[in-house]
Amino acid sequence: MTELKTVQGVTVALLSGELDHHTARLMRCEIDREITEKRPRRLVIDFSGVTFMDSSGIGLIMGRYKLMNERGGSVTVARPPVYIKKVLRLAGVDRLAPISDTLDDLLPAEDYAKEAERIEQTSGQTN
């Protein structure tokens, strides 16, 4: 499953479940559609919800890197679990896309979610 959100030129693709040759097809179609429509300058692929990944995940990252690179953009791999890091390291993915253990500093400062949270907190205080 893929949850996509684009805010201020940054697309976050939150992947969840198992990432293999079978599931990668749909994931990459959904990500590519978002990139084509929204034209972000950065793609953050969030692996925190991925429970299994084989080399199909590497193919997915390499393919999105190519697409973003052609458009002058970048790709960041975020929050990979330990067992996925092993595959990422083996493939040398960090040469194409930096790997980050957190989403901090990857999202635009005025992220919708943060903004919504702030508004909610403010309204909570006034009540």
Contact residues for another protein, defined by CB under 8 A: 18, 20-22, 24-25, 28, 52-56, 58-60, 62-63, 83, 86-87, 90-91
63, 97, 119 from 43: Cα distances, Å: 12, 10, 27
12 versus 24: smaller Cβ distance to another protein: 24
Cβ–Cβ < 8 Å for 4, 13: yes
Distance in Å, CB of 82 to another protein, minimum: 8
DSSP-derived 3-state class of residue 44:
strand
10 versus 43: smaller Cβ distance to another protein: 43
90 versus 113: smaller Cβ distance to another protein: 90
Query: What is the C-alpha to C-alpha distance for residues 55 and 89, in angstroms, rounded to an integer?
Result: 12
Distance in Å, CB of 65 to another protein, minimum: 11
